[in-house]
């Protein structure tokens, strides 16, 4: 009986929002988990045998270890750096369960990059495009450090080509977007090239083609991770927000400048920000156009983790390797599902496309095509109408 009380208390403690859990909707998520927990059937009170207790303990551990554990005590001098243990890669002493034993640590050897090319146009100048040797990771780096990696239309066109190639390459499972050097991820549109028609490369019309790039990243059926050192400002800040995950160095600075430089992004730049940080903070970010440190951005829910600058790529690669261990189809469907509501019809279409893709792989789907090719009536009678 005492043990049962302990287990219930343990579940309750695990289900309650941890001190580091983020504000607004994240809290309500954990609150509903806590509620769900109280609706779990009680442990079998009659079965107090060792075996029964172990079975319950295993189930408790299985549920509890899928929740974020509380942060470990902050390390001296690194208070702004979050160091959350994560999933298979970072289990602490309390997580020596079968899940950790099976999924375990990912290797931490350095990645070897080779230059990649999409083979479809002039050589890249504004972008460095690389793929990891023997691993499914692509890295796309904005290469204008002398302008704090501000983008011009040509930069955006090259980014789009590289993202297209990484999407088409079936050996690639995750894509890193970053900026050259440690001073900036990206400082937005190149203001020196701004015209009344948008941003214009020499001898070309103006355009706002970064908006198409944002959509491309959202629809790309593989995770895109923003690896941010230094400034992520203006259109550069929006680029990190449209990525699926953001790993920030402790020198990262985030902010919008639009209302100070005569610009605004009323599309994803507003709606996704509001989703990420909540409507009040989003108004603050846009109306006041202040800059925020990495640790402030972490508290606001703008980034996934903050790490020391010297560990930025190593940590990002670790996240990539953990993702690459997991089911690509599950991740593909989850990405489209997580975007579906916010992206309206386009989001629904992306998710629906995944459903069609999966259906094509089934015997039932194949029967329709085969019957058509054989000029016969399809026989769907053997496929169950599941409840």
| Chain residues in the site for ligand LTTK3YTO (CB under 6 A) | 147-148, 150, 184, 187-192, 199, 208, 210-211, 231, 233-235, 257-258, 261, 263, 265
Q: Which two tokens stand for residue 8?
A: 């219930």
Contact in structure between 325 and 340 (CB atoms under 8 Å):
no
Beta carbon nearer to ligand LTTK3YTO, 15 or 193: 193
Could you tell me the smallest distance in angstroms from the CB atom of residue 210 to ligand LTTK3YTO?
A: 4
**What strand order describes the sheet that includes 224-228?**
113-115, 127-132, 137-142, 174-179, 224-228, 245-249, 305-307
Contact indicator for 233, 246 with CB cutoff of 8 Å: no
Location of structure tokens 């479809």: 120
Of the pair 207, 325, the CB lying nearest ligand LTTK3YTO is at 207
DSSP 191: G
Q: How far apart are CA 313 and CA 305, in angstroms?
A: 13
| CA 115 from centroid of its chain's CA atoms | 24
Q: Which is nearer to ligand LTTK3YTO, 100 or 155 (CB)?
A: 155
Residue 20 φ/ψ region, left for φ over 0, alpha for ψ in the -120 to 50 degree band, beta for the rest? alpha
Neighbours of 118 (CB within 10 A): 17
366 contact partners, CB below 8 Å, separation of at least 6: 360
Q: How far is the CB of 152 from ligand LTTK3YTO (least distance, A)?
A: 9
The strands making up 291-293's β-sheet, listed across from edge to edge, are: 184-186, 231-233, 253-255, 291-293
* In the complex, least distance from residue 250 CB atom to ligand LTTK3YTO, rounded to whole angstroms: 16
Rounded to 10°, the helix 210-219/268-277 angle is 50
Nearer to ligand LTTK3YTO, 147 or 332 (CB): 147
To ligand LTTK3YTO, the closest distance from the beta carbon of 184 in angstroms equals 6
Residue 143 in tokens: 């290469």
Angle at 241 between CA 236 and CA 247, to 5 degrees: 90
- Is 181 or 365 the residue whose CB approaches ligand LTTK3YTO more closely? 181
- CB nearer to ligand LTTK3YTO: pick between 137 and 233: 233
Min CB(190)–ligand LTTK3YTO separation in Å: 4
Please, what's the largest Cα pairwise distance for the chain? 82
Distance between alpha carbon 296 and the CA centroid of its chain, in Å? 19
Which of 43, 269 has the CB closer to ligand LTTK3YTO? 269
Is residue 91 a contact partner of residue 69, using CB atoms and an 8 Å limit?
no
Q: Which is nearer to ligand LTTK3YTO, 60 or 156 (CB)?
A: 156
How is residue 51 annotated by DSSP?
H
Contact (Cβ atoms closer than 8 angstroms) between residue 177 and residue 244 = no
CB of 207 to ligand LTTK3YTO, least distance (A): 8
Task: Give the nearest distance from C-beta 128 to ligand LTTK3YTO in angstroms.
Answer: 18
Structure tokens at 310: 């010297």
Q: How far is the CB of 256 from ligand LTTK3YTO (least distance, A)?
A: 7
The three-class DSSP label of residue 245 is: strand
**Cβ closer to ligand LTTK3YTO: 184 or 323?**
184
Question: Closest separation between CB of residue 146 and ligand LTTK3YTO, Å?
Answer: 6
Instruction: Give the nearer residue to ligand LTTK3YTO in terms of CB position, either 69 or 179.
Output: 179
- Residue 227 C-beta: closest distance to ligand LTTK3YTO, Å: 17
């Amino acid at each position: 009986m005492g043990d049962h009380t302990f287990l219930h208390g343990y579940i309750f403690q695990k289900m309650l929002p941890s001190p580091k859990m983020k504000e607004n909707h994240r809290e309500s998520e954990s609150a509903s988990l806590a509620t769900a927990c109280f609706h779990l059937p009680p442990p079998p009170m009659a079965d107090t045998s060792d075996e029964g207790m172990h079975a319950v303990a295993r189930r408790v551990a299985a549920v509890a270890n899928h929740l974020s554990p509380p942060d470990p005590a902050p390390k001296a001098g690194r208070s702004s750096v979050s160091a959350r243990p994560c999933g298979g890669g970072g289990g602490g002493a309390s997580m020596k369960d079968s899940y950790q034993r099976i999924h375990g640590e990912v290797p931490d050897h350095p990645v070897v990059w080779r230059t990649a090319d999409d083979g479809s146009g002039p050589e890249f100048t504004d972008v460095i495009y690389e793929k990891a040797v023997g691993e499914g990771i692509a890295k796309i780096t904005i290469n204008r450090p002398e302008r704090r990696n501000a983008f011009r239309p040509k930069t955006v066109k090259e980014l789009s080509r590289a993202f297209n190639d990484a999407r088409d390459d079936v050996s690639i499972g995750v894509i890193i977007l970053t900026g050259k050097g440690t001073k900036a991820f990206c400082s937005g549109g190149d203001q020196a090239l701004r015209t009344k028609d948008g941003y214009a490369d020499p001898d070309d019309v103006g355009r706002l083609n970064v908006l198409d790039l944002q959509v491309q990243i959202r629809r790309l059926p593989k995770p895109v991770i923003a690896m941010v050192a230094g400034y992520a400002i203006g259109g550069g800040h929006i680029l990190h927000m449209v990525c699926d995950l953001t790993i920030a160095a402790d020198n990262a600075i985030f902010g919008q400048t639009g209302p100070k430089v005569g610009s605004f992004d009323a599309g994803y730049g507003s709606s996704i920000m509001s989703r990420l940080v909540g409507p009040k903070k989003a108004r603050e970010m846009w109306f006041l156009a202040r800059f925020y440190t990495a640790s402030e951005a972490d508290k606001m829910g703008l980034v996934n983790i903050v790490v020391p600058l010297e560990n930025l790529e190593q940590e990002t690669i670790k996240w990539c390797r953990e993702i690459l261990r997991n089911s690509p189809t599950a991740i593909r469907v989850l990405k489209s599902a997580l975007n579906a509501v916010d992206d309206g019809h386009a989001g629904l279409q992306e998710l629906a496309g995944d459903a069609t893709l999966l259906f094509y792989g089934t015997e039932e789907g194949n029967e329709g095509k085969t019957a058509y090719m054989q000029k016969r009536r399809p026989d769907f009678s053997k496929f169950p109408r599941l409840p």
